[in-house]
Amino acid sequence: MDFRYTEEQLMIQDIARRIAREKIAPTAEHFDRSGEFPLENIRTLGENGLMGIEVPTEYGGAGLDPMGYVLAMVEIAAADAAHSTIMSVNNSLFCNGILTNGTEAQKQKYVRAIAEGAEIGAFALTEPQSGSDATAMRCRAVKQADGRFIINGTKSWITSGPVAKYIVLFAMTDPDKGARGITAFLVDTDKPGFSRGKTEPKLGIRASATCEIEFNDYVAEADEVLGEEGHGFKIAMGVLDAGRIGIASQAIGIGRAAYEASLAYVRERKAFGVPIGTFQMTQAKIADMKCKLDGALLLTLRAAWLKGQGQKFTTEAAVAKLTASEAAMWIAHQAVQIHAGMGYSKEMPIERYFRDAKITEIYEGTSEIQRLVIARHETGLR
């Protein structure tokens, strides 16, 4: 096993770190407070290859491997989790799904604009009554004699929904077939029949805009079907396998920011005449934070490496996402405790890390769903 990063991986990490330091960290508090969408920063990420890291250069991406994606995501998330949410949807959920399942014409049309950061992409699976139980969707796409589909239904919690130009949508084309009756579509939000609900007020990742979207007799052309008819659920699950590596990386970034802030604080803050880092109880917190962070990173790199090798990585991605998100939540919790009053104050970013960490245990499959995926694989039972 070789633990050294390649030159390309170090290069993308370096680019991400520079943008994170110069553009994102100084504006993170503003965007968290205002809930505005950070469009200019997202354009900068796109111009620097960070919106399509694994997208081949012929489709406007950086052409790097999944480990490069992990390293870059960690850097952006450490500066601001909301930016990394927008980044992860464009990279993993939007571009990755089209690259794996799209036609050449679809890759040219949809991937380039998103990978370059000129447009924003989204991914619409969840509905008001179906989150974890994704096959219980009600959004219907009815095929017409001329091969077009008429789509009606509602999707909820759509990240970047308020600003997306294109959306990968999952709808039921044959309800009698359950999971095998779902088809994926490429939606253009400027077409008639598409509308948006209000932007959700959220606990964390507040600059990542989320909303409900609606389809009222929206017409999808035959060439706007992604992959084969009836293969939509498999496409969604495959895309989410890759997406979970991105969310694991996001969690590591949030955890690392909380850890580094804690490390600095325990050295400088004094109580009883000594730095609080000299107390064994504080030292145990620091040691446990470090172990959880390193463990999460190694598991995430393992999943990314398998993906890069073209091997199956469903279980490893679930292991990485579960471990990293629970590590981030635990570390952020301990960071608030270490900073105590200042951890609770909006004058420091610690309370933001705490609020932002929570989402990593919920989206792209809750922790319970990751455990279900892992245990089904390990036991062969369901």
Q: Which residues are catalytic?
A: 364
Q: Which part of the chain contacts ligand FAD (CB under 6 A), choosing from 24-32, 45-53, 245-253, 364-372? A: 364-372
Tell me how far, at minimum, the Cβ of 131 lies from ligand FAD, in Å.
Answer: 2
The one among 69, 215, 265, 363 contacting ligand CAA by CB under 6 A = 363
- Contact residue for ligand CAA among 17, 143, 234, 269 (CB under 6 A): 234
Region binding ligand CAA by CB under 6 A among candidate stretches 59-67, 214-222, 295-303, 369-377: 369-377
6 interacts with ligand CAA by CB under 6 A: no
Cβ atoms < 10 Å from Cβ of 337: 15
User: How is residue 312 written in tokens?
Assistant: 């199956």
The residues in 189-208 that bind ligand FAD, with binding defined as CB under 6 A, are: 202
- Strand 140-143 and strand 225-226: the pairing is unpaired
Q: Applying CB under 6 A, which part among 97-105, 157-165, 283-291, 328-336 lies near ligand FAD?
A: 157-165
Pairwise CA distance, residues 92 & 188, whole Å: 19
Binding to ligand CAA (CB under 6 A) within 157-216 occurs at 159, 179-180
CA-CA distance, 158 to 208, in Å (whole number)? Answer: 10
Window 15-74: residues binding ligand CAA (CB under 6 A)? none
Residue 352 CB, shortest distance to ligand CAA, in Å, is: 18
From residue 157, how far is each of 131, 197, 224, 326 by CA, in Å?
9, 10, 23, 22
Nearest CB to ligand CAA, comparing residues 134 and 209: 134
- Residues numbered 31 to 90 that lie near ligand FAD (CB under 6 A) are 89
Do the bridges between strand 121-124 and strand 166-172 make them parallel or antiparallel, or are there none, so unpaired? parallel
Report in angstroms how near the CB of residue 177 gets to ligand FAD at its nearest: 21
List 9, 27, 126, 262, residue binding ligand FAD (CB under 6 A): 126
What CA–CA distances, in Å, run from 160 to 3, 37, 187? 35, 9, 14
Longest dimension (CA), the chain: 81
SS3 334: helix
From 219, 237, 366, 376, residue interacting with ligand FAD (rule: CB under 6 A) = 366
Judged by beta carbon, residue 226 or residue 301, the one nearer ligand FAD is 226
Q: How far is the CB of 127 from ligand FAD (least distance, A)?
A: 8
What single string gives the DSSP state of each residue in 253-268?
HHHHHHHHHHHHHHHH
CB of 284 to ligand FAD, least distance (A): 30
Q: Measured between alpha carbons, how far is 358 from 281 in angstroms, rounded to an integer? A: 25
Q: CB-based burial of residue 138 (10 Å sphere; 0-12 exposed, 13-18 middle, 19+ buried)?
A: middle
The least distance separating ligand FAD from the CB of residue 331, rounded to whole angstroms, comes to 20
Q: Which two tokens stand for residue 216?
A: 């009222």
Tokens of 281: 């109880």
In total, the chain counts a number of residues equal to 382
Residues lying near ligand CAA in the complex (CB under 6 A) are found at 85, 89, 93, 123, 125-126, 132, 134-135, 159, 179-180, 233-234, 237-238, 240-241, 314, 363-365, 369, 372-373
